Amino acid sequence: RHKRELNDRIRNFEVVQDADGEWIEATPEQTAEMKAAAGVSAPAAEESAGGKEPLKIIIAGAPASGKGTQCEVIKEKYGVVHLSTGDMLRAAVAEGTEVGKQAKDFMDAGKLVPDEVIIGVVKDRLEQSDCKSCGWLLDGFPRTPAQAEALASAGVSADCFLFLNVPDDMLVDRVCGRRTDPVTGKIYHMTFSPPDDEEVLARLEQRSDDTEEKVKVRLEQFHANVDAVKGNYVEIGVEIDGSKKPGEVTEVIAAALEAKVAA
């Protein structure tokens, strides 16, 4: 029930993802911006559904780049299937597919699932009927140049590679400002969405991994691979200023995708 209610709120642009991927209440301005942006190219989206090839999209961005918020808007507007490697791996294991069984063996042993197995899981998922008829949105994959090359070797190609570019200092601010209310579980941000209630403010807690030191480690890992990954998608790549407001980012993404549809 909770998941259904959350999905309804996402569709209605009532929530946005914070720096760590948690859904929080959207401000009226954010809701208005996202609704306006999502409606900018609605007729083209309908045309796409009426006979053109469905969109195949890859989106990449550092932690706290706003990728989660934009994925929800893209999924809602274009009707594509939103895919993350974690969800695909869990589904493949649950379904008992051949690559799912291979992945389970590594996971049960506490080992990282190797690229060749992950690529098999991704390729199998993209072959399913919903992805073929509706198109797909690969969220944060491939993460390394080896994965990008393996994906290409497996015959998987995209129409557009979206990269949300946000300065590191802003990413650190987004993550480090995050606080949780231990009583309600609600997520706040000390700069962008602080609580109005002084009592709530006094009891807020910061997660142990939302520190500048740990965020910078995650960013180092991201930067170590992202340029090489982008190099595999030069012809279809679109770099977007992710430091702008969510609605403005949505508008730029919509324009980029409509250009790909029209091409």
Q: What are the residue numbers of the active site?
A: 67, 143, 178, 207, 218
Q: Give rounded-to-5 percent helix, strand, coil for the chain.
A: 55, 15, 30
SS3 87: helix
Q: Phi then psi for 55, rounded to 5 degrees?
A: -70, 145
**HSE, side-chain direction, 13 A CA sphere, residue 156:** 27
Query: What phi-psi label fits residue 64: left (phi over 0), alpha (psi between -120 and 50 degrees) or beta?
Result: left
Q: Phi then psi for 83, rounded to 5 degrees?
A: -125, 130
| Contact predicate 96/107, CB 8 Å | no
| Contact predicate 231/142, CB 8 Å | no
Distance CA 198, CA 136 (A): 44
Q: Which of 151, 166, 143 is nearest to 227 (CA)?
A: 143
